[in-house]
Structure 1
Amino acid sequence: MSYEIIDRMPTTAEFTAVTAAVGWQHAYDPDAVPASLARSLHGVVAVCDGAVVGVGRVIGDGAIYFYLQDIAVVPEHQGRGVGRALLTALERWIATQAGPRSFVGLFAAGESVRLYEQFGYRRHDDMTGMFRVGPR
Protein backbone atom coordinates (compact mmCIF):
# COMPACT_ATOMS: atom_id res chain seq x y z
CA MET A 1 0.00 0.00 0.00
CA SER A 2 1.10 3.51 -0.77
CA TYR A 3 0.35 6.52 1.42
CA GLU A 4 0.40 10.19 0.61
CA ILE A 5 0.70 12.73 3.42
CA ILE A 6 -1.04 15.98 2.51
CA ASP A 7 -0.72 19.25 4.42
CA ARG A 8 -4.38 20.18 4.85
CA MET A 9 -7.03 20.08 7.51
CA PRO A 10 -9.26 17.01 7.38
CA THR A 11 -12.89 17.65 6.57
CA THR A 12 -15.40 17.11 9.35
CA ALA A 13 -16.47 13.83 7.76
CA GLU A 14 -12.87 12.60 7.38
CA PHE A 15 -11.99 13.57 10.94
CA THR A 16 -15.11 11.92 12.32
CA ALA A 17 -14.55 8.71 10.35
CA VAL A 18 -10.91 8.30 11.40
CA THR A 19 -11.45 9.19 15.06
CA ALA A 20 -14.48 6.87 15.24
CA ALA A 21 -12.39 4.07 13.74
CA VAL A 22 -9.93 4.38 16.65
CA GLY A 23 -12.70 4.50 19.24
CA TRP A 24 -12.80 8.23 19.93
CA GLN A 25 -16.36 8.78 18.66
CA HIS A 26 -17.62 9.69 22.14
CA ALA A 27 -14.73 12.04 22.91
CA TYR A 28 -16.06 14.94 20.86
CA ASP A 29 -19.23 16.96 20.64
CA PRO A 30 -20.13 16.45 16.97
CA ASP A 31 -21.53 19.97 16.74
CA ALA A 32 -18.19 21.43 17.89
CA VAL A 33 -15.93 19.51 15.48
CA PRO A 34 -16.25 21.90 12.49
CA ALA A 35 -15.34 24.96 14.60
CA SER A 36 -12.50 23.09 16.29
CA LEU A 37 -10.99 22.08 12.97
CA ALA A 38 -11.41 25.60 11.58
CA ARG A 39 -9.55 27.09 14.56
CA SER A 40 -6.64 24.67 14.34
CA LEU A 41 -3.26 26.02 13.28
CA HIS A 42 -2.40 23.26 10.82
CA GLY A 43 -3.52 19.82 9.76
CA VAL A 44 -2.36 16.81 7.81
CA VAL A 45 -4.10 13.80 6.35
CA ALA A 46 -2.82 10.42 5.20
CA VAL A 47 -4.46 9.18 2.02
CA CYS A 48 -4.45 5.61 0.69
CA ASP A 49 -6.28 4.70 -2.52
CA GLY A 50 -8.18 7.99 -2.41
CA ALA A 51 -9.43 7.57 1.16
CA VAL A 52 -8.25 9.46 4.24
CA VAL A 53 -6.89 6.86 6.66
CA GLY A 54 -5.04 9.13 9.10
CA VAL A 55 -5.32 12.62 10.52
CA GLY A 56 -3.35 14.96 12.74
CA ARG A 57 -3.38 18.60 13.65
CA VAL A 58 -1.61 21.34 15.58
CA ILE A 59 -3.49 23.62 17.93
CA GLY A 60 -2.23 26.48 20.09
CA ASP A 61 -1.48 30.17 19.81
CA GLY A 62 0.93 29.86 16.89
CA ALA A 63 3.68 31.79 18.64
CA ILE A 64 4.69 30.24 21.96
CA TYR A 65 2.43 27.23 22.42
CA PHE A 66 1.94 24.39 19.95
CA TYR A 67 0.12 21.18 20.80
CA LEU A 68 -0.07 18.05 18.70
CA GLN A 69 -3.67 16.91 18.73
CA ASP A 70 -5.78 14.06 17.37
CA ILE A 71 -3.09 12.09 15.58
CA ALA A 72 -5.01 8.97 14.58
CA VAL A 73 -4.70 6.21 12.01
CA VAL A 74 -7.46 3.79 11.02
CA PRO A 75 -6.56 0.44 12.66
CA GLU A 76 -6.17 -1.45 9.36
CA HIS A 77 -3.39 0.99 8.42
CA GLN A 78 -1.57 1.08 11.75
CA GLY A 79 1.91 -0.37 12.05
CA ARG A 80 2.89 0.77 8.55
CA GLY A 81 4.60 4.07 9.39
CA VAL A 82 1.54 6.24 8.78
CA GLY A 83 1.54 7.74 12.28
CA ARG A 84 5.26 8.47 11.99
CA ALA A 85 4.69 10.14 8.61
CA LEU A 86 1.86 12.29 10.01
CA LEU A 87 4.01 13.29 12.97
CA THR A 88 6.97 14.08 10.70
CA ALA A 89 4.80 16.38 8.58
CA LEU A 90 3.43 18.16 11.66
CA GLU A 91 6.92 18.55 13.11
CA ARG A 92 8.17 19.97 9.81
CA TRP A 93 5.41 22.60 9.86
CA ILE A 94 6.03 23.48 13.53
CA ALA A 95 9.72 24.00 12.72
CA THR A 96 8.72 26.76 10.28
CA GLN A 97 6.57 28.53 12.87
CA ALA A 98 7.99 28.00 16.36
CA GLY A 99 10.75 29.99 17.94
CA PRO A 100 13.70 28.47 19.81
CA ARG A 101 11.88 28.68 23.17
CA SER A 102 8.41 27.63 22.01
CA PHE A 103 6.62 24.91 23.93
CA VAL A 104 5.48 21.91 21.90
CA GLY A 105 3.33 19.51 23.86
CA LEU A 106 0.94 16.60 23.57
CA PHE A 107 -0.93 14.00 25.58
CA ALA A 108 -0.03 10.40 24.79
CA ALA A 109 -1.34 7.05 25.92
CA GLY A 110 -0.52 3.43 25.34
CA GLU A 111 1.79 2.43 22.51
CA SER A 112 1.91 5.97 21.07
CA VAL A 113 4.29 7.03 23.86
CA ARG A 114 7.16 5.16 22.19
CA LEU A 115 6.58 6.95 18.88
CA TYR A 116 6.60 10.39 20.50
CA GLU A 117 9.74 9.56 22.47
CA GLN A 118 11.50 8.87 19.16
CA PHE A 119 10.73 12.49 18.22
CA GLY A 120 12.26 13.83 21.44
CA TYR A 121 9.16 14.15 23.60
CA ARG A 122 9.72 13.32 27.25
CA ARG A 123 7.81 13.20 30.48
CA HIS A 124 9.07 15.70 33.01
CA ASP A 125 8.93 14.91 36.71
CA ASP A 126 8.31 18.54 37.64
CA MET A 127 5.32 18.86 35.28
CA THR A 128 1.99 17.07 35.42
CA GLY A 129 -0.42 16.96 32.53
CA MET A 130 -3.92 17.70 33.74
CA PHE A 131 -7.32 18.16 32.14
CA ARG A 132 -11.06 18.22 32.78
CA VAL A 133 -14.02 17.83 30.49
CA GLY A 134 -16.71 20.48 30.13
CA PRO A 135 -17.37 23.74 31.93
CA ARG A 136 -17.37 23.89 35.67
Structure 2
Amino acid sequence: MNHPYEIIDRLPTVQEHQALWEAVGWGSVNTEMTKESLARSLYGVVAVHQGKTVGMGRIVGDGAMYFYIQDVAVLPEHQGNGIGARIIERVMEFIAERRFPNGVAFAGLFASEGKDKFYEKYGFQDYSPGMTGMFKVLDK
Protein backbone atom coordinates (compact mmCIF):
# COMPACT_ATOMS: atom_id res chain seq x y z
CA MET A 1 0.00 0.00 0.00
CA ASN A 2 1.39 3.38 -0.99
CA HIS A 3 0.84 5.90 1.80
CA PRO A 4 0.52 9.59 0.90
CA TYR A 5 2.43 10.30 4.11
CA GLU A 6 6.05 9.35 4.64
CA ILE A 7 7.29 8.84 8.21
CA ILE A 8 10.94 9.91 8.44
CA ASP A 9 13.30 9.32 11.37
CA ARG A 10 14.56 12.83 12.06
CA LEU A 11 13.84 15.73 14.33
CA PRO A 12 11.69 18.55 13.03
CA THR A 13 13.54 21.74 12.20
CA VAL A 14 12.98 24.70 14.50
CA GLN A 15 10.67 26.21 11.87
CA GLU A 16 8.70 22.97 11.38
CA HIS A 17 8.35 22.58 15.15
CA GLN A 18 7.12 26.15 15.51
CA ALA A 19 4.60 25.83 12.66
CA LEU A 20 3.15 22.59 14.02
CA TRP A 21 3.17 23.83 17.64
CA GLU A 22 1.22 26.95 16.69
CA ALA A 23 -1.12 25.16 14.26
CA VAL A 24 -2.40 22.81 16.97
CA GLY A 25 -3.06 25.70 19.35
CA TRP A 26 -0.25 25.27 21.86
CA GLY A 27 0.53 29.00 21.74
CA SER A 28 3.78 30.63 20.73
CA VAL A 29 7.23 29.22 21.35
CA ASN A 30 10.66 30.77 21.82
CA THR A 31 12.60 29.44 18.81
CA GLU A 32 16.01 29.94 20.46
CA MET A 33 14.86 27.71 23.31
CA THR A 34 13.34 25.23 20.84
CA LYS A 35 16.66 24.95 19.00
CA GLU A 36 18.40 23.90 22.21
CA SER A 37 15.57 21.59 23.26
CA LEU A 38 15.41 19.80 19.91
CA ALA A 39 19.19 19.33 19.90
CA ARG A 40 18.97 17.45 23.21
CA SER A 41 16.24 15.05 22.06
CA LEU A 42 16.86 11.31 22.03
CA TYR A 43 14.86 10.78 18.86
CA GLY A 44 12.52 12.49 16.47
CA VAL A 45 10.15 11.60 13.69
CA VAL A 46 8.30 13.70 11.15
CA ALA A 47 5.44 12.97 8.78
CA VAL A 48 5.86 14.43 5.32
CA HIS A 49 3.16 14.92 2.69
CA GLN A 50 4.07 16.20 -0.77
CA GLY A 51 7.37 17.58 0.51
CA LYS A 52 5.84 19.40 3.50
CA THR A 53 6.21 18.37 7.13
CA VAL A 54 2.68 17.87 8.47
CA GLY A 55 3.37 15.97 11.70
CA MET A 56 6.03 15.39 14.34
CA GLY A 57 6.89 13.58 17.53
CA ARG A 58 10.00 13.23 19.63
CA ILE A 59 11.44 11.58 22.72
CA VAL A 60 13.44 13.09 25.56
CA GLY A 61 14.84 11.19 28.52
CA ASP A 62 17.80 9.11 29.59
CA GLY A 63 17.65 6.57 26.75
CA ALA A 64 17.79 3.55 29.05
CA MET A 65 14.92 3.53 31.53
CA TYR A 66 12.94 6.76 31.11
CA PHE A 67 11.49 7.97 27.84
CA TYR A 68 9.19 10.96 27.64
CA ILE A 69 7.15 11.37 24.48
CA GLN A 70 6.90 15.02 23.55
CA ASP A 71 5.47 17.28 20.86
CA VAL A 72 3.25 14.79 19.02
CA ALA A 73 1.37 17.08 16.66
CA VAL A 74 -0.31 16.85 13.26
CA LEU A 75 -1.54 19.80 11.24
CA PRO A 76 -5.31 20.03 11.80
CA GLU A 77 -6.09 19.63 8.10
CA HIS A 78 -4.20 16.31 8.08
CA GLN A 79 -5.63 14.89 11.31
CA GLY A 80 -7.80 11.79 11.02
CA ASN A 81 -5.57 10.16 8.39
CA GLY A 82 -3.64 7.86 10.73
CA ILE A 83 -0.55 10.07 10.93
CA GLY A 84 -0.61 10.34 14.72
CA ALA A 85 -0.91 6.57 14.98
CA ARG A 86 2.08 6.05 12.70
CA ILE A 87 4.12 8.58 14.69
CA ILE A 88 3.29 6.91 18.03
CA GLU A 89 3.96 3.44 16.61
CA ARG A 90 7.41 4.53 15.40
CA VAL A 91 8.19 6.28 18.69
CA MET A 92 7.23 3.14 20.61
CA GLU A 93 9.39 1.00 18.28
CA PHE A 94 12.33 3.28 19.09
CA ILE A 95 11.75 2.85 22.82
CA ALA A 96 11.49 -0.93 22.48
CA GLU A 97 14.73 -1.01 20.47
CA ARG A 98 16.69 1.36 22.74
CA ARG A 99 15.58 0.51 26.26
CA PHE A 100 18.07 -1.18 28.54
CA PRO A 101 18.29 -4.89 27.58
CA ASN A 102 16.05 -7.03 29.78
CA GLY A 103 15.13 -3.95 31.79
CA VAL A 104 11.91 -2.11 32.35
CA ALA A 105 11.26 1.09 30.42
CA PHE A 106 8.89 3.83 31.49
CA ALA A 107 7.31 5.77 28.62
CA GLY A 108 5.43 8.86 29.70
CA LEU A 109 3.54 11.68 28.07
CA PHE A 110 1.00 14.38 28.71
CA ALA A 111 -2.04 14.15 26.46
CA SER A 112 -3.71 17.28 25.18
CA GLU A 113 -7.31 17.70 26.26
CA GLY A 114 -9.51 15.08 24.62
CA LYS A 115 -6.59 13.00 23.31
CA ASP A 116 -6.32 10.54 26.21
CA LYS A 117 -8.40 7.86 24.42
CA PHE A 118 -5.99 7.98 21.48
CA TYR A 119 -3.02 7.18 23.73
CA GLU A 120 -4.93 4.53 25.66
CA LYS A 121 -5.02 2.50 22.42
CA TYR A 122 -1.23 2.22 22.75
CA GLY A 123 -1.28 1.06 26.37
CA PHE A 124 -0.93 4.42 28.10
CA GLN A 125 -3.12 4.77 31.15
CA ASP A 126 -4.00 7.11 33.97
CA TYR A 127 -2.55 5.67 37.18
CA SER A 128 -4.30 8.09 39.52
CA PRO A 129 -4.98 8.18 42.37
CA GLY A 130 -2.01 5.88 43.11
CA MET A 131 0.28 8.00 40.91
CA THR A 132 -0.38 11.45 39.53
CA GLY A 133 1.40 13.12 36.64
CA MET A 134 2.58 16.52 37.73
CA PHE A 135 4.67 19.31 36.33
CA LYS A 136 5.67 22.85 37.18
CA VAL A 137 6.17 25.61 34.65
CA LEU A 138 9.12 27.91 35.37
CA ASP A 139 8.61 30.97 33.26
CA LYS A 140 9.88 33.83 35.41
TM-score normalized with structure 2 length:
0.91
Report if the CA contact (8 A) 1:16-1:25 is conserved: no
Q: Larger RCO: Structure 1 or Structure 2 (Cα < 8 Å, ≥ 6 residues apart)?
A: 1
TM-score normalized with structure 1 length:
0.93
Deviations 1:79-99 (A, max 9, x none): 110100110111111111113
- CA offset at residue 135 of structure 1? 5.9
Name 1:29's counterpart in structure 2: 30
Decide whether aligned partners of structure 1 residues 135 and 51 sit closer, same or farther in structure 2, where only a CA change above 3 A counts. closer
- CA offset at residue 30 of structure 1? 2.4
Of all paired residues, the percent bearing the same amino acid is: 47
Q: Which amino acid aligns with 1:56?
A: G
Matches within 5 A, 1:112-127: 112-125=115-128, 126-127=130-131
Matched length: 135
- CA offset at residue 111 of structure 1? 2.9
Q: Which amino acid aligns with 1:74?
A: L
Gaps of 5+ in 2: none
- CA offset at residue 29 of structure 1? 2.6
Gaps of 5+ in 1: none
Q: Over aligned residues, Cα RMSD in angstroms?
A: 1.4
Distance 1:134 1:101 in 2: 30
Distance 1:114 1:13 in 2: 29
Moved over 2 A (4+): none
